[in-house]
């Protein structure tokens, strides 16, 4: 074993022929958010499989009758807002001081859902769907369609740069001078750089129809659907990192057709099929516990048992 090989393994350096990919701007932003979530938030997760047989049938009826493009995602987002109305402490931001072991919960009056979307390079980043607590299904559908239309005209890297600047100002004001200075320096200088100093002073000309920076700021709650990535996926989300300072994440997976035995009118054993939807509820345990999630689940079950109510949404 020569010294070069020894040091290469000790430092976990790339070997000849390895492909090296440095984080781009979007990866740096999302990576920072996720690492902070893992470091700072004690997150239990509850996986719940709901029988949505009647609910899904009612959705198909409404989709045919409503006269506008209605997705299942939109319907679940509206269901989430109805659940948060009876579990308002989940629609909140939590501020916590590790040194003092003290904090405060800010229960938000509006429900702004952070909806992860996939960008170039496989990076996901949440875009905010705002104020859905008072919106109809059609209004939510229209808002999402408008977001996706405007996203195509948006300089995402430019907005990420603005967002980083805003967050770094916040970190500096909170006294995080050393770590912030290191991130600023590495962003402009060296092999990890993603831009140059002169880019700060460039005049930014953007399409007036593009999304603004606040569309990428934290929402009040996060909703994600892994089923949109692949209809063939059979697993479900078992854990989802919370997007600080949010305290709750709601995730769904693909709907599954599940066969089950039952007795028919003749008393004979027969086989039926249910539609089951795996759901994941991840929450900040500093809230107090699972008791904050139970009212939301009960609201979901109430709607699944009486799905005709969705026609009033």
Distance separating alpha carbons of residues 213 and 201, to the nearest angstrom: 18
45 and 132 in a single domain? The answer is yes
4 in a structural domain: no
The count of domains in the chain is 2
149 in a structural domain: no
CATH number of residue 122's parent domain: 3.30.559.10
11 in a structural domain: no
**Domain end: 165, 188, 205, which one?**
205
Residues in a beta bridge with 114: 128, 222
199 in a structural domain: yes
124 and 192 in a single domain? The answer is no
200 and 217 in a single domain? The answer is no
236 and 106 in a single domain? The answer is yes
30 and 104 in a single domain? The answer is yes
| Residue 269: per-residue pLDDT | 74
Give the predicted TM-score (pTM) of the model. 0.76
105 and 187 in a single domain? The answer is no
192 and 271 in a single domain? The answer is no
40 in a structural domain: yes
| Residue 290: per-residue pLDDT | 83
119 and 235 in a single domain? The answer is yes
173 in a structural domain: yes
SS3 sequence, the chain? CCHHHHHHHHCCCCCCCCCCCCCCHHHHHHHHHHHHHHHHCCCCEEEEEEECHHHHHHHHHHHHHCCCCCCHHHHHHHHHHHHHHHCHHHCEEEEEECCCCEEEEEECCCCCEEEEEECHHHCEEEEEECCHHHCCHHHHHHHHHHHHHHHCCCCHHHHHHHHHHHHHHHHHHCCCHHHHHHHHHHHHCCCCCCCCHHHHCCCCCCCCCCCCHHHCCCCCEEEEEHHHCCCCCCCCCCCCCCCCCECEEEEECCCEEEEEEEECCCCCEEEEEEEEEEEEEEECHHHCCHHHCHHHHHHHHHHHHCHHHHHHC
258 in a structural domain: yes
14 in a structural domain: no
Q: At what angle do helices 156-173 and 177-188 cross, to 10 degrees?
A: 150
231 and 283 in a single domain? The answer is yes
124 and 31 in a single domain? The answer is yes
163 and 255 in a single domain? The answer is no
| Residue 79: per-residue pLDDT | 96
Tell me the residue range of the domain where 288 lies: 20-144+213-306
92 and 230 in a single domain? The answer is yes
Tokens 């506008």 sit on residue: 68
Instruction: Encode the chain (313 residues) as per-residue pLDDT tens digits.
Output: 566 665 665 666 666 766 666 666 565 666 666 656 666 676 778 888 999 999 999 999 999 999 899 999 999 999 999 999 999 999 988 887 777 767 788 899 889 998 887 766 666 677 889 999 999 999 999 999 988 888 888 777 776 766 666 666 666 666 666 565 656 555 555 555 555 545 555 556 666 777 776 777 678 898 887 766 556 666 666 666 777 788 899 988 888 888 878 677 777 777 878 899 999 998 888 777 788 899 999 999 999 999 999 999 9
């Amino acid at each position: 074993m020569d010294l070069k090989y020894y040091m290469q393994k000790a430092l976990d350096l790339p070997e000849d022929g390895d492909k090296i990919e440095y984080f781009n701007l979007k990866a740096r932003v999302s990576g920072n958010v996720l690492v902070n979530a893992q470091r700072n938030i004690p997150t239990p997760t509850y996986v719940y499989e709901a029988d949505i047989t009647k609910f899904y049938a009612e959705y198909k009826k409404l989709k045919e009758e409503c006269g506008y493009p209605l997705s299942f995602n939109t319907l679940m987002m509206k269901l989430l807002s109805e659940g948060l109305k009876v579990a308002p402490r989940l629609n909140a931001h939590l501020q916590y001081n590790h040194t003092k072991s003290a904090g405060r919960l800010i229960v938000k009056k509006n429900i702004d859902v952070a909806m992860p979307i996939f960008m170039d390079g496989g990076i996901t980043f949440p875009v905010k769907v705002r104020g859905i607590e008072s919106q109809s299904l059609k209004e939510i559908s229209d808002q999402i369609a408008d977001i996706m239309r405007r996203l195509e005209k948006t300089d995402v890297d430019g907005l990420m740069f603005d967002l980083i600047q805003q967050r770094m100002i916040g970190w500096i004001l909170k006294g995080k001078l050393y770590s912030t200075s290191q991130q600023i320096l590495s962003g402009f200088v060296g092999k990890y750089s993603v831009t140059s100093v002169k880019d700060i002073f460039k005049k930014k000309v953007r399409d007036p129809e593009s999304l603004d920076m606040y569309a990428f700021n934290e929402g009040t709650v996060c909703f994600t659907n892994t089923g949109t990535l692949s209809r063939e996926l059979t697993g479900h989300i078992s854990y989802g990192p919370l997007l600080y300072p949010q305290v709750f994440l709601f995730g769904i997976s693909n709907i599954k057709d599940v066969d089950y035995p039952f007795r028919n009118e003749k008393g004979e054993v027969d086989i039926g099929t249910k539609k089951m939807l795996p759901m994941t509820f991840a929450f900040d345990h500093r809230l107090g516990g699972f008791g904050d999630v139970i009212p939301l689940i009960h609201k979901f079950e109430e709607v699944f048992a009486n799905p005709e109510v969705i026609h009033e949404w």
